[in-house]
Amino acid sequence: MSVSMPQKRYYRQRAHSNPMADHTFEYPVCPEDMDWSQLYPEFFSDHQSTQKAAQVEFADIGCGYGGLLVELSPLFPKQLILGLEIRVKVSDYVQDRVRSLRAAETGSYQNIACLRSNAMKYLPNFFSKGQGLVYTNTDVEEVHLWMVKHFSEHLLFTRVPDAELVDDVIISRLGTCTEEGKKVQRNGGKNYLAVFRRVEDQN
């Protein structure tokens, strides 16, 4: 059964959505209750039950139309990647897109999925505490400086110097594979990147 690719023009929605408003979202009571098999059926099929349950290792907060998810999927085929998007139409687009891609190429794109949610409020419902890296990217310098300031001042994060990011496969794609990224390129804008690592509390 072929699933045709969704057309973006039917899923347009303005960029800003108020995350403080009481939209209605579905979210698990706690991370242990989350049924990831709905989003990544291939990874949770029966023959895998004896193996360690797969976990989402990448989260794209505000994934938009899913450009980054699609780009990263073949690069990390054994790892689960989740896109979180608050907008109704846009999250639906990504879900349709993933369905269509999975149908077109058997076995591919099984490791990406999109959830409609408010990451600010409900991230702790989906994910337990973990270590890791935060990649930030923007074409607006003030936003970049704001993010750098807050992450640098936060005692649980430290900035990863550019020298350490030379071989990073994600960095090279952050500014190019998303809708916003392509728009910036067309307009000759600049991308501001900053990466931060979660560290232990010093106290």
Partner 1 sequence: MPKDVWICIKLIQEPFVFDCSAAEQKPKDPEADNKSDGSEETGSDKILAFSVSSSAKLVALTDDTKRLVLFRCEPSWQVISTRWVVRRCTSLVFTEAEDEVWAADKSGDVYSFSVVEPQKTGELKLGHLSMLLSMTLTPNDKYVVTADRDEKIRVSHLRSPHNIQAFCLGHLEFVSSLLAPPGHPQWLLSGSGDGTMKLWEYESGRRLQSWDLKQLRDMPKSDTEKETRSAVSRIAGSPGGHHVAVQCERVPSVQLFGMEQGTEERLMPSSRLTLPHCPLDLTFDPQGRLWVLLDSRETPFLVYTHTQDSWQCDSESPEMKRVTEALQPHWEALQVSAGLESRFQHLYKGNFDNMASYREKKQQRLQQQKEQGGKKRGPGKGQQSNGASKKAKKGNQPGPVTKASS
What is the per-residue binding string for partner 1 in 108-127, x denoting contact by CB under 8 A? -----x-xx---xxx-xx--
What is the per-residue binding string for partner 1 in 12-41, x denoting contact by CB under 8 A? xxx--x-xx-xxxxxxxxxx-xxx--xx--
Would you say 150 and 159 are in contact if contact means Cβ atoms under 8 Å apart? no
Please give the structure tokens belonging to residue 5.
Answer: 């690719």
Please give the structure tokens belonging to residue 168.
Answer: 């990073």
In the block, tokens 């990874």 appear at 43
Closest distance between partner 1 and the C-beta of residue 61, in Å? 14
Among 10, 74, 104, 132, which residue interacts with partner 1 (rule: CB under 8 A)?
Answer: 10
Strand, helix or coil for residue 158: strand
Asked whether position 150 contacts partner 1 by CB under 8 A, the answer is no
Q: Number of residues in contact with partner 1, rule: CB under 8 A?
A: 44
Cβ count near 85 (within 10 Å) = 26
Among 154, 182, 183, 190, which residue interacts with partner 1 (rule: CB under 8 A)?
Answer: 154
Q: Taking the C-alpha atoms of 197, 177, 119 and 4 in order, what is their torsion angle to the nearest 10 degrees?
A: -150
Cβ count near 42 (within 10 Å) = 14
Cβ count near 81 (within 10 Å) = 23
Q: Judged by CB, which is closer to partner 1: 11, or 192?
A: 11
Q: Judged by CB, which is closer to partner 1: 100, or 125?
A: 125
Q: Judged by CB, which is closer to partner 1: 158, or 172?
A: 158
Would you say 144 and 151 are in contact if contact means Cβ atoms under 8 Å apart? no
Q: How far apart are CA 18 and CA 146, in angstroms?
A: 19
What is the per-residue binding string for partner 1 in 63-102, x denoting contact by CB under 8 A? ------------------------xxx--x--x-------
Q: How far apart are CA 150 and CA 138, in angstroms?
A: 15
Asked whether position 59 contacts partner 1 by CB under 8 A, the answer is no
Please give the structure tokens belonging to residue 28.
Answer: 């698990």
Q: Judged by CB, which is closer to partner 1: 173, or 197?
A: 197
- Where along the sequence are the contacts to partner 1 (CB under 8 A)? 7, 9-14, 17, 19-20, 22-31, 33-35, 38-39, 87-89, 92, 95, 113, 115-116, 120-122, 124-125, 129, 154-156, 201, 203
